[in-house]
Amino acid sequence: MDSITNTKRKVYRFGHRQTDGDRTMRNLLGGKGANLAEMSRLGIPVPPGLTITTEVCTEYNAIGKEATVELIAEEVREAIKQIEAEMDTVFGEDKNPLLLSVRSGARVSMPGMMDTVLNLGLNDVSVLGVAKKTNNERFAWDSYRRFVQMYGSVVMGMKPENKEDEDPFEEQIHQTKEARGISLDTEFTVEDLKNLVVDFKKLIKERTGQDFPTDPWEQLWGAIMAVFDSWNGDRAVYYRKINGYPPDWGTAVNVQAMVFGNMGENSATGVCFTRDAATGANQFNGEYLINAQGEDVVAGVRTPQQITLEGSKHWAELAKLSEKERAAKYPSLQEVMPKLYQELFRYQNQLEIHYRDMQDMEFTIQDGKLWILQTRNGKRTGAAMVKIAVDLLKEGMIDEKEALLQILPEKLDELLHPVFDPRALKRAKVIAQGLPASPGAATGQIVFFADEANKFKNSILVRTETSPEDLEGMDLAKGILTARGGMTSHAAVVARGMGKCCVSGAGALKINYKKRTMTVDGHEYHEGDWISLNGTTGNIIDGKVATMEPLLSGEFAEIMTLADKYATMKVRANADTPKDAKTARNFGAQGIGLARTEHMFFEGNRIMTMREMILADTIKGRKLALEALLPMQRNDFEGLFEALHGHPVTIRLLDPPLHEFVPHQLATQKELAEDLHISLAAVKNKVAELHEFNPMLGHRGCRLGITYPEITEMQTRAIIEAALNVKEKGIEVKPEIMVPLVGTLEEFESQEEVIKQTAETVFQEYGDRVDYLIGTMIEVPRAALMADAIAQRADFFSFGTNDLTQMTFGYSRDDAGKFMSYYLEKGILKADPFEVLDQEGVGQLVALGAKKGRSTKPDLKVGICGEHGGEPSSVEFCHDNGLDYVSCSPFRVPIARVAAAQAAL
Ligand code: ADP
Ligand code: MG
Ligand code: MG
């Protein structure tokens, strides 16, 4: 037995002679490595190779380059022997050299985030050997110039000096093309390629001061370490940040025998998807290039061709080409290499069934033989995610639970975004068309550089093509437009992953980075000009286009029904107006968890009456103003009860400090004085009186209702009268009155008494009753600690995790912006606790409060109504702590429903 079958191995092999890993080993081998091993096991033609584990990456960060080489050298050498045997070549040999690719691969796919080097092992001597062996001089030199280019960028750090500049190698390529009067890479002669190799090496020496390494082993160690380094490169760090992946996962390195798509007309490379990643349609699709290497398709070097005849016809139709023109200009792989297409079709089918999910695959055809280089669960839009899950379920490939678990709750958000209003689209001026790379509607102002995406509130990033460097800007922009690159280009894949609208490959655009212009059909657009993108059709539109709410698909409804079937926790919405309440019901909310009554006071001229109430000097004056507010509140509550039709409605009594309602500017103060027929000085006095040093900890919440019981009286009356009125119409009502900011049992009791008395009075007046509950928010830490006492009286608890977070951390929510981003950057906080519930700390109070409350009252109803109620990991936490419901903003209800179901599974 050879030495690398030891237990604590660092290198795993794959290939047809020996495969050590399998698909279950993603964490150790990375997604790419685990799947290469799995495909080898399935008998799919995969070039043999080895995977260096993610653990080595972590170790590398601690011990550095030389020690890492020492650590793995022996195992790597052993594994390379296997590759040599399978490929019948020798690594480092001159006449018959084994050439390698060095590829990164973390446990989750991070397309293009880390680096790859192809054709490694070539030098001035072995390139001649390859030329002779393959009898193809052009191929040998093309591979060599690609290798020098990639190694130069990835390992030796060559990059453009300014952002307006082109990549130094690409610039050299363009110059050569211009000098020779050609436009395509494929038109280079052997002489051209030889010159490029010399020029590239010279450039590298000039810029880096280093010689290009000639020893293949030196090349190999350099490339492996560069892949490890790329795990901590800017792109990967940012990608991890936006996706919340921890830095200690590390990346694996795959070293694999090269297969060549650039060997001539009988060779090709491509990318394909088992289903449509934009719409989810069950349609095999993809793109390929004849006589090219992997990166060419993704990087948008040439605009690729369609794999299927159907796809090719579709694009030709958009370009208004006849069938004859199509066949000449857009030949599909299905027509050009029908046998290989059939073989590819079989593998894609096999892999989708095997992985039971949509696959995104890479392949290369070397001189008439098909090789599969990668498979992974494909990135997709939110719409495609929902459709694919439902389709796979219907096809019997997965069961209901698996379908639910395929949904990334956050991605549902995309489906709820506005779309272009079809009426506005009819009038829109379409200036050009590209590929509908990622659906959606985007309107914004043009920027040409990713790091300037924040120049405007709504920007559209316009690029010739995007590169992984642009990730942050793509994330900030409202939409992405590229002149080059197909449906599988970097821009397209990343945009779909982000759920961002993208139009790619719009060949009619001429972009000039230096002048910051985009020219279409003779018209020049400048930075800051408004354009709109329709990611569903590929249309590029002049100016702004109006949008509207989206229509939700039948598949969306099916997923929601499934979610409710498996969720044990209910999902309610925070809604303050009948309109929001209706939206919430449409999204499937099973109640209102929080209606903030103060929001109602800002509508129309109600604020005047409210101010009158606040400014009143006597109880009598205050009562008069309250009487005027009563019918308005009652009306709102009736709207809520009607919209909810028998589902519970939790209404919170007045909460914010009163100074929020009075004017602070002189002009409005004057106006108020006139309206109320009092002096300006009186208004000013009152405003000054209401001033507090810490309003968040001041006269607010139940402290208001306790000091001004007439407010609680009026609000209770409005709630109970509304409930009785709606009940009268034959609609079931479930009012729940919620007392805010309670910290002691006595505070609660004081409000409870006012509420009960008022309700009884109203019942007598009406000669009718309704059932109602009186509960409290748990948002002051003391309330959580005293929950057993408070539960003696309260019918329900609702954790107000916004205030609870604020008071537990001692961070003012309104001032935390000053230090929060710094804290996040420095890792002092892992996530913003106002977005993601701090389970460790604040979570203890939630768990304790629920437990203590139920120790007094076992059937106490417990929910949560902070922003966290719609955040999937917080929803799971609530489920685990036995909460009855979460309540979140209406648009997050679908997300919370799926998260609740997933927590239950
Ligand atoms: P990424 O993770 O960014 O997709 P990959 O490691 O998959 O990077 O490699 C980038 C490109 O290089 C892909 O298009 C792939 O097909 C090509 N490639 C990788 N390894 C090989 C190989 N052994 N032979 C031929 N092409 C390869
Ligand atoms: Mg890849
Ligand atoms: Mg609060």
Domains, the chain, ranges and CATH?
1-122+216-258 (3.30.1490.20), 124-214 (1.20.80.30), 268-380 (3.30.470.20), 418-548 (3.50.30.10), 567-606+633-657+704-904 (3.20.20.60)
Q: CB of 268 closer than 6 A to ligand 1?
A: no
Locate tokens 């050879």: which residue? 2
- Which of ligand 1's atoms lies nearest the C-alpha of 112? 3
Q: CB of 362 closer than 6 A to ligand 1?
A: yes
Q: Compute the average pLDDT of residues 523-544.
A: 94
Question: What pLDDT does 5 receive?
Answer: 41
Contacts of 441 (CB under 8 A, 6+ apart): 417, 418, 419, 420, 501, 532, 533, 534, 535, 536, 545, 547
Taking residue 561's Cβ as centre, other Cβ atoms within 10 Å add up to: 11
Q: CB of 259 closer than 6 A to ligand 1?
A: yes
Question: What pLDDT does 1 receive?
Answer: 38
Using the mean position of ligand 1's atoms as its centre, give its distance from the Cα of residue 227 in Å: 13
Q: CB of 300 closer than 6 A to ligand 1?
A: no
Amino acid letter, 107: R
Separation of alpha carbons 208 and 575, rounded Å: 60
- Which of ligand 1's atoms lies nearest the C-alpha of 363? 16
The pLDDT-based confidence of 583 (bands split at 50, 70, 90) is confident
Contacts of 102 (CB under 8 A, 6+ apart): 116, 117, 120, 220, 223, 224, 226, 227, 253, 254, 255
Return the percentage of the chain with pLDDT > 90, whole number: 73
Q: Compute the average pLDDT of residues 60-78.
A: 96
Q: CB of 103 closer than 6 A to ligand 1?
A: yes
Separation of alpha carbons 415 and 440, rounded Å: 9
Q: CB of 227 closer than 6 A to ligand 1?
A: no
- Which of ligand 1's atoms lies nearest the C-alpha of 110? 2
Q: CB of 35 closer than 6 A to ligand 1?
A: no
Q: CB of 101 closer than 6 A to ligand 1?
A: yes
Separation of alpha carbons 95 and 132, rounded Å: 8
Detail the DSSP E strand segments found in 621-719. Answer: 648-652
Q: CB of 374 closer than 6 A to ligand 1?
A: yes
- Which of ligand 1's atoms lies nearest the C-alpha of 373? 16
Q: Identify whether the C-beta of residue 295 lies closer than 8 Å to the C-beta of residue 262.
A: no
* Rg of the chain taking only CA atoms, in angstroms: 33
Separation of alpha carbons 504 and 494, rounded Å: 12
Sign of the alpha-carbon torsion through 262, 265, 267, 270:
positive
- Relative to the alpha carbon of 118, which ligand is closest? 1
- Relative to the alpha carbon of 115, which ligand is closest? 1
Locate tokens 């405007």: which residue? 456
Using the mean position of ligand 2's atoms as its centre, give its distance from the Cα of residue 295 in Å: 9
- Relative to the alpha carbon of 596, which ligand is closest? 3
Separation of alpha carbons 197 and 137, rounded Å: 14
Q: Whose CA is nearest to atom 11 of ligand 1?
A: 294
Q: Identify whether the C-beta of residue 31 lies closer than 8 Å to the C-beta of residue 104.
A: no
Residue of 364, 373, 379 to test ligand 1 pocket, by largest number of atoms within 8 Å of CB: 373
CA 390 → CA 398, 677, 893, 895, distances in Å?
A: 9, 65, 20, 17
Taking residue 605's Cβ as centre, other Cβ atoms within 10 Å add up to: 8
Question: What pLDDT does 100 receive?
Answer: 98
Residue of 103, 271, 295 to test ligand 1 pocket, by largest number of atoms within 8 Å of CB: 103
Question: What pLDDT does 471 receive?
Answer: 82
Q: CB of 375 closer than 6 A to ligand 1?
A: no
pLDDT of 891 > 60? The answer is: yes
pLDDT tens, position by position, 70-93: 999 999 999 999 999 999 999 999
Using the mean position of ligand 1's atoms as its centre, give its distance from the Cα of residue 125 in Å: 25
Q: Identify whether the C-beta of residue 266 lies closer than 8 Å to the C-beta of residue 368.
A: yes
pLDDT of 340 > 50? The answer is: yes
Using the mean position of ligand 1's atoms as its centre, give its distance from the Cα of residue 117 in Å: 8
φ, ψ for residue 654, nearest 5 deg: -45, 130
- Ramachandran bin of 604, using left for φ above 0, alpha for ψ from -120 to 50, beta for the remaining angles: left
pLDDT tens, position by position, 843-852: 999 999 999 9
pLDDT tens, position by position, 632-647: 999 999 999 999 999 9
pLDDT tens, position by position, 96-144: 999 999 999 999 988 777 789 999 999 999 999 999 999 999 999 999 9
The pLDDT-based confidence of 561 (bands split at 50, 70, 90) is very high
Amino acid letter, 814: D
Question: What pLDDT does 605 receive?
Answer: 73
What DSSP character marks residue 304? P
Q: Compute the average pLDDT of residues 508-528.
A: 94
Amino acid letter, 684: K
Using the mean position of ligand 1's atoms as its centre, give its distance from the Cα of residue 65 in Å: 24
Mean pLDDT of the chain: 92
The pLDDT-based confidence of 301 (bands split at 50, 70, 90) is low
Q: Each residue of 794-825: b (16+ CB within 10 Å) or e?
A: bbbbbbbbebbbbbbbebeeeebeeebeeeee
Q: CB of 295 closer than 6 A to ligand 1?
A: yes
Helix (H) / strand (E) containing 880: helix 872-880
Q: Compute the average pLDDT of residues 282-290.
A: 95
Separation of alpha carbons 131 and 294, rounded Å: 20
Residue of 374, 376, 377 to test ligand 1 pocket, by largest number of atoms within 8 Å of CB: 374
Q: Compute the average pLDDT of residues 613-627.
A: 90
The pLDDT-based confidence of 805 (bands split at 50, 70, 90) is very high
Separation of alpha carbons 105 and 52, rounded Å: 10
In three-state secondary structure terms, 653 is coil
Q: Each residue of 677-709: b (16+ CB within 10 Å) or e?
A: ebeeeebeebbeebeeeebeeeebbbbbbbebb
Separation of alpha carbons 102 and 119, rounded Å: 9
Q: Whose CA is nearest to atom 14 of ligand 1?
A: 294
- Which of ligand 1's atoms lies nearest the C-alpha of 100? 23
CA 739 → CA 231, 715, 751, 763, 848, distances in Å?
A: 50, 11, 7, 21, 20
- Alpha carbon 98 to chain centroid distance? 40
Q: Could you tell me the two tokens for 578?
A: 């009948």
Question: What pLDDT does 234 receive?
Answer: 84
pLDDT tens, position by position, 23-50: 999 999 999 999 999 999 999 999 999 9
- Which of ligand 1's atoms lies nearest the C-alpha of 260? 25
Q: Identify whether the C-beta of residue 107 lies closer than 8 Å to the C-beta of residue 43.
A: no
Taking residue 152's Cβ as centre, other Cβ atoms within 10 Å add up to: 24
In three-state secondary structure terms, 532 is strand
pLDDT tens, position by position, 761-771: 999 999 999 99
Q: Specify which of 406-410, 736-740, 868-872 reaches the highest per-range mean pLDDT.
A: 736-740
- Relative to the alpha carbon of 867, which ligand is closest? 3
When mean pLDDT is compared across 52-61, 327-336, 662-671, the lowest value belongs to 662-671
Using the mean position of ligand 2's atoms as its centre, give its distance from the Cα of residue 706 in Å: 64
Q: CB of 740 closer than 6 A to ligand 1?
A: no
Nearest 5°: the CA angle 516, 518, 524 is 100
pLDDT of 821 > 90? The answer is: no
Instruction: Indicate which residues carry an active-site annotation.
Output: 490, 865
Q: Whose CA is nearest to atom 16 of ligand 1?
A: 294
Q: Identify whether the C-beta of residue 675 lies closer than 8 Å to the C-beta of residue 640.
A: no
Q: Which residue has the higher pLDDT, 478 or 548?
A: 478
Q: CB of 372 closer than 6 A to ligand 1?
A: no
pLDDT of 242 > 90? The answer is: no
pLDDT of 740 > 70? The answer is: yes
Separation of alpha carbons 6 and 453, rounded Å: 51
Give CB contacts under 8 A, 24+ apart, made by 400-407: 400/562, 400/565, 400/566, 401/566, 401/905, 402/356, 403/559, 403/562, 404/559, 404/562, 404/563, 404/566, 404/898, 404/901, 404/902, 404/905, 405/902, 405/905, 406/357, 407/559, 407/898, 407/902
Question: What pLDDT does 2 receive?
Answer: 42
Nearest 5°: the CA angle 43, 44, 49 is 95
Nearest 5°: the CA angle 567, 572, 575 is 160
- Which of ligand 1's atoms lies nearest the C-alpha of 374? 7
When mean pLDDT is compared across 495-504, 651-660, 862-871, the lowest value belongs to 495-504
Residue of 39, 114, 116 to test ligand 1 pocket, by largest number of atoms within 8 Å of CB: 116
Contacts of 72 (CB under 8 A, 6+ apart): 10, 11, 52, 56
